[in-house]
Structure 1
Amino acid sequence: MTTLRLGIVGAGMIAGVIVEAVKRAVGVEVVAVASRRPDSAKKFAQEQGIPHEFDTWQEMLSSDEIDAVYVATPTSSKEEIALFGAKHKKHLLVDKPFASMASVQAMVDAAKANGVAFMDATHFTHNPRTHQLRQTMTSEIGQPQALRSSFFFPFMDRTNIRFDTEKEPTGAVGDMTWYSMRAVAEFLQPTTPVKVMSGGIIRDEETNAVIRGTGVVMFEDGKSSTFDFGYNAGTCLMDLDILGHDAVFSLNDWVLDWKQGFAFDDPDHVIGYTKRTEMQTPKQHTYISADSDTPQAVAMMTHFAELAANPSSEQNTKAQDLAILTQSLLDAYWEAVK
């Protein structure tokens, strides 16, 4: 397989995570970077050993130096960059948050029209554990009927872009609830939602940014999801329960696994999940291993290279559909919030 030459728009923390992931991935290399501040792109390129830096993303996406782009910019500029990239035949890997489902749909349509791949950069989707859960749910816990999720991390840095309501108007909703909605798309495979309710959001008194919230989604087929999210719980919570008719799968590190999620590094941890059934006490619960030595960010970059090699594949269509479904659920929640 020809090595995919990746350019990055953005020079922040998450861009560095992707560079490190690419170093271990198969079929892809980072060859260029651009940023709204050229000095930041130059510094990032020097620190990461990237051979090319560009003063503008337009120059980079117009060049023949790259085959694909990873977009790690504020929400307001992602669609413009992605559409420009697709027009110039660059495969698209775009990080959340997104502005709306219409925006995601526009990116997907542009990718299809120009014969390139589109994928959102949601790491846990690519964890081998996620595939194992999908494959074994029905046989192990019965037909999945509901999800309960919570995602919090302690982050009240008001100088961060998450607290800038002009650049990130949905705050913690777009940043964190995306994962809860993606879990719904991955594990429930739901029908049309019949009711989306906000249990309320909390805004920061100084910036007015959304910093916490809760909600419920109910579907035509009787499935449902409840979720809580935010920055102000004082710790990292990544709890997910998948409720079947016979048992429950539980995870406490579903977004970034403890072993090698980019925020954590516990090499002795065995990636997996707990099965709970009947009237068991905690010591009777079964821990099911889904261990891997490949970090989910690395797997994501390898999968992206595979999609780019065959953008008309069924796998690419599935990736696009997952992004659209996730954002449609997120949009419905945001409308309930408003």
Structure 2
Amino acid sequence: MPDIRFGIVGSGMIAGVTAKAIDQATGARAVAVSSKHFDRAKKFASEHKIAKVFKSWQQLVEARDIDAVYVATPTICREEICLAALKNGNHLISEKPFLNGLSAHRIANQAQSRGLAFMDATHFTHHPRTKQVIKQQQKSIGDVQRIYSAFLFPFVERDNIRFNPKLEPTGAIADIGWYNMRAIVEFLRPAGTIQSIAGAVKRDQETGAVISGTGMIEFSSAQTSTFDFGYDAGVCDMDLNILGDNGLIQLNDFVLDWKDSFVFGNPNYSADFTLRQGMATPREFEHFAVDTQKSQVVYMIEHFCHMATTEDIELRNAAAARAIHTQELLDHYCSSVGVTLETSNF
């Protein structure tokens, strides 16, 4: 089967991470890039051995020799590009977040109506460990009742778009709070609707951007999630605690694994997790190591290529549903802390 030919919209840091993953993935090839900064796009193309450089995303999504488009632009302009890519018959993988839940629905509906794949670019979802943790949940700890997640790291660069509310209207909430919400979708899998939600956020005094927050969500199924996120902790914290009827599963790198992620990359480490039950002391904790041969970003690209070539409609629908559910949880949290979501022009 021929490679899926990718066009990349955007030339920033995360676009570079994904371009590298496309190059390393089986069944994928990056063939074009576009950016509003043409010089950056040319440099990006040279670095990643990409043949075609377009001056606009409109030219890229209309190109006939592209099978899929990866969108890595600021949130505020993402929907227009996603819809145009789908309209022109391209499968779609997009950075997150989306403008709001309605925007995510519009993109998913467009993909479904045209028989195309749509996936959000959440890396840890595709890590083999995630699947193994879910299996261990079912085997060892029973029904999951609550989870706690934290994603915090030191980052204060006010010239970055994360500190520009015009481009990223919800700041850290949707940038890294997305992963707290995705942990709910992947591991808690709430059986009920939101019963109550509360939280608090902190804004940067100079830019007004949301830079950190905390929260709690209670579902009608009596399941709960508490979470923290932000740029201002002075440390990288990626803890995840999954509590069930019969025990606890813990990870301390659930977003960017210590072993293979683009941030850390320590090949001598392993991707692991810990199981605790009853009154076990530390020497009695069970430790599980998950073998990985590739980074979770590469796994993501390969899973997307499979989704683009399969006729398994349920697989595609499930991917879209996870993106929508994650975004809708973010919307509810934003509303609870008084952060106004912009509306789309569509």
Structure 1 distance, partners of 2:23, 2:48, is: 10
The aligned counterpart of 1:192 is 193
The aligned counterpart of 2:33 is 33
The aligned counterpart of 2:148 is 148
The letter for the 1-side match of 2:147 is L
Uncovered stretches (5+) of structure 2, i.e. residues with no partner: 339-346
The aligned counterpart of 2:11 is 11
The aligned counterpart of 1:57 is 57
Identity rate of aligned residues, in percent? 47
Q: For the Cα contact (< 8 Å) 1:32–1:65, is it kept in 2?
A: no
**1:93-120: CA deviation from partner (whole Å, max 9, x where unpaired):** 0001211000000100111122211000
The aligned counterpart of 1:174 is 174
The aligned counterpart of 1:282 is 282
Structure 2 distance, partners of 1:313, 1:115, is: 9
The aligned counterpart of 1:109 is 109
The letter for the 2-side match of 1:256 is L
**1:25-72: CA deviation from partner (whole Å, max 9, x where unpaired):** 111110000001111111111121100010111001111121110000
Q: For the Cα contact (< 8 Å) 1:249–1:276, is it kept in 2?
A: yes
SS of equivalent to 2:176: helix
The letter for the 1-side match of 2:327 is Q
Q: For the Cα contact (< 8 Å) 2:97–2:327, is it kept in 1?
A: no
Q: After alignment, is 222-231 or 137-146 more displaced?
A: 137-146
The letter for the 2-side match of 1:221 is S
Q: For the Cα contact (< 8 Å) 1:115–1:311, is it kept in 2?
A: no
The letter for the 2-side match of 1:241 is N
Runs of 4+ in 1 over 4 A off after TM superposition: none
How many residues align? The count is: 337
Q: For the Cα contact (< 8 Å) 2:140–2:247, is it kept in 1?
A: yes
Matching of residue 120 in structure 1 with residue 132 in structure 2: no
**1:167-200: CA deviation from partner (whole Å, max 9, x where unpaired):** 00100000011111111111111121111111x1
SS of equivalent to 2:266: coil
TM-score for both structures, normalised by structure 1: 0.98
Q: For the Cα contact (< 8 Å) 1:117–1:311, is it kept in 2?
A: no
SS of equivalent to 1:16: helix
Structure 1 distance, partners of 2:250, 2:146, is: 12
The aligned counterpart of 1:327 is 327
The aligned counterpart of 1:244 is 244
The aligned counterpart of 2:342 is none
Q: For the Cα contact (< 8 Å) 1:151–1:228, is it kept in 2?
A: yes
**1:61-98: CA deviation from partner (whole Å, max 9, x where unpaired):** 11112111000000011100000001000001000121
Q: For the Cα contact (< 8 Å) 1:213–1:228, is it kept in 2?
A: yes
TM-score for both structures, normalised by structure 2: 0.96
Structure 2 distance, partners of 1:175, 1:32, is: 26
